């Protein structure tokens, strides 16, 4: 690179990524092919609109790329093009979720989503996000004792509040979500069912987490977490009498965005092909096994694991333990000094501030990409225990 300053910083970040144990549950390491697509000449092209219906000339190549990406996305999740449509233009997860609400919920309508402190995402209607300012959130959470979703409570809440859309999905809920129960609840109150599978998309692709497609009207996902692609997102939408695909496409462009990032879409296509392989299935299996080993070892060392364990790639640890342990911030800072990267996280029924909460969230997607197995997970758990216990 001619720009030595940026070149140096990219190298430094690359080194940092190599030299740490990366337990950020939403991160991963992409392949060289994904990086090549991201850094290609495709970044030079404007392509407002959709394949075959663009506003500028010169679209012959990029139309093929976007169509290929869409067909790979449907194939990976075993969706017949006659039943499902996919939009691959969202720049990332938050705009994808907002586009769904723009399409399906009138201003000030109700979004029923998991509260941020119980495991949901900002864009599931939290008040500090645009999704809580333009729409009204009906928050739900987990049972105080079991720390898993109580579907009877959820149904009661939905029937009392009659939301326009129910969002199933999370950023820090370690368990399997019962999509059938969500569907029944959505039907009982006449709401759309949206699943945000950003965290577990790679696990669905690898058949180690239930697929939401049988039950949802709309499924959003980022591509860069367990799916191991570039920063990007997709919206899958059911084709039925309501013509939802048209509403979603219009909400993404021209509703929310201008020209799509074709370099990003090409990189998504590459990642989707990589995920459609037996090797990726093995990877997904290993991610969950690793998370179970990490959670199991931490638990046996005396740490409180929220919900008692995990069914996915992520583990939520109560480091505060009612004042007997460390705050999430101190735990995260101590671990970073020792080269283990995690994020501080609220735990259900949090009593502390989100800036210094009671827990940390860890995930196994990134380290599994680097080849870690149960043995390494147990060693990491022991190291975490040692660092956090030190007086």
- H or E, element range at 87: strand 84-87
The residue written with tokens 């191991």 in the block is 228
- Check binding of 310 to ligand DSN (CB under 6 A): no
Minimal CA–CA distance to 49: which of 263, 259, 265? Answer: 259
- CB 184 to ligand DSN: min, Å: 27
DSSP 212: S
Residue 341 vs residues 16, 27, 114, 129: alpha-carbon distances, Å: 11, 11, 26, 26
Question: Are the beta carbons of 44 and 245 closer than 8 angstroms?
Answer: no
Shorter beta-carbon distance to ligand DSN: residue 171 or 312: 171
By C-beta, is 112 or 314 nearer to ligand DSN?
314
Taking the complex as a whole, the smallest distance from the CB of residue 137 to ligand DSN amounts, in Å, to 16
Please state the separation of Cα 204 from the chain's center in Å: 12
Of residues 171 and 327, the one with the C-beta less far from ligand DSN: 171
Provide DSSP, 241-256: TT-HHHHHHHIIIIII
Q: How far apart are CA 342 and CA 332, in angstroms?
A: 6
Binder among 22, 26, 136, 164 for ligand DSN (CB under 6 A): 26
Active site residues: 46, 48, 196, 222, 225, 231
- CB closer to ligand DSN, 93 vs 359: 93
121 in contact with ligand DSN (CB under 6 A): yes
Burial class (CB in 10 A: 0-12, 13-18, 19+), 26: buried
Could you tell me the smallest distance in angstroms from the CB atom of residue 20 to ligand DSN?
Answer: 16
The distance of closest approach from Cβ of residue 179 to ligand DSN in the complex, given in angstroms and rounded to an integer, is: 20
Q: Which is nearer to ligand DSN, 92 or 161 (CB)?
A: 92
Binding status of residue 93 toward ligand DSN by CB under 6 A:
yes
**228 touches ligand DSN (CB under 6 A):** no
The reply on whether position 313 binds ligand DSN by CB under 6 A is: no
Phi, then psi, of 275 in degrees rounded to 5: -75, -15
Pair 221, 195: CB distance under 8 Å: no
Cα separation, 76 vs 269, in Å, equals 11
**Size of site (CB under 6 A) for ligand DSN:** 4
Phi and psi (nearest 5°) for 231? -60, 115
- Nearer to ligand DSN among residue 121 and residue 261 (C-beta): 121
Nearer to ligand DSN, 47 or 235 (CB): 235
- What are the beta bridge partners of residue 234? 221
Check residue 356 and give left, alpha or beta (phi > 0: left; psi -120 to 50: alpha).
Answer: beta
Distance CA 333, CA 37 (A): 35
Are the CB atoms for 198 and 222 separated by under 8 Å? yes
Strand partners, 168: 195
Nearest-approach distance from CB 346 to ligand DSN, in angstroms: 12
Residue 105 contacts residue 247 (beta carbons within 8 Å): no
Task: Dig out the tokens for 319 from the structure.
Answer: 């480091």
CB of 27 to ligand DSN, least distance (A): 8
Ranked by CB distance to ligand DSN, the top (closest) residue is: 26
Q: Using CB under 6 A, which of 97, 171, 293, 312 touches ligand DSN?
A: 171
Residues engaged in binding ligand DSN (CB under 6 A): 26, 93, 121, 171
């Amino acid at each position: 690179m001619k720009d030595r300053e940026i070149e140096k910083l990219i190298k430094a970040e690359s080194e940092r990524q190599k030299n740490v144990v990366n337990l950020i549950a939403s991160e991963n390491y992409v392949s060289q092919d994904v990086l090549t697509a991201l850094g290609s000449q495709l970044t030079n092209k404007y392509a407002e609109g959709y394949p075959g219906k663009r506003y500028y000339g010169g679209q012959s190549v990029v139309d093929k790329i976007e169509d290929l990406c869409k067909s790979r996305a449907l194939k990976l999740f075993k969706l017949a093009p006659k039943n499902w449509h996919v939009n691959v233009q969202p720049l990332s997860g938050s705009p994808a979720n907002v586009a769904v609400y723009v399409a399906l919920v009138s201003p000030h309508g109700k979004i029923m989503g998991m509260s941020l402190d119980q495991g949901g995402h900002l864009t599931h209607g939290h008040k500090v996000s645009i999704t809580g300012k333009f729409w009204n959130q009906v928050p739900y959470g987990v049972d105080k004792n079991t720390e898993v979703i109580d579907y009877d409570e959820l149904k009661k809440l939905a029937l009392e509040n009659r939301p326009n859309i129910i969002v199933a999905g999370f950023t820090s809920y370690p368990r399997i979500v019962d999509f059938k129960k969500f569907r029944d609840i959505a039907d009982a109150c006449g709401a759309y069912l949206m699943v945000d599978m950003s965290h577990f998309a790679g696990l669905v692709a690898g058949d180690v987490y239930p697929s939401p497609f049988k039950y949802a009207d709309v499924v959003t996902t980022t591509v860069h977490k367990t799916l191991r692609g570039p920063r990007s997102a997709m919206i899958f939408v059911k084709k039925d009498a309501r013509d939802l695909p048209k509403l979603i496409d219009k909400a993404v462009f021209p509703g929310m965005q201008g020209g799509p990032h074709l370099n990003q879409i090409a990189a998504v296509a590459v990642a989707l092909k990589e995920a459609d392989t037996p090797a990726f299935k093995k990877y997904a299996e290993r991610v969950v096994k690793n998370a179970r080993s990490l959670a199991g070892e931490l638990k046996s060392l005396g740490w409180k694991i929220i919900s008692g364990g995990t069914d996915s790639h992520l583990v939520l640890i109560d480091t505060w333990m009612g004042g007997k342990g460390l705050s999430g911030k101190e735990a995260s800072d101590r671990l970073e000094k020792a080269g283990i990267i995690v994020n501080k996280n609220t735990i259900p029924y949090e009593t502390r501030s989100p800036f210094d909460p009671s827990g940390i969230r860890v995930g196994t997607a990134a380290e599994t990409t680097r080849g870690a197995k149960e043995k390494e997970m147990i060693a990491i758990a022991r190291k975490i225990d040692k660092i956090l216990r030190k007086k």
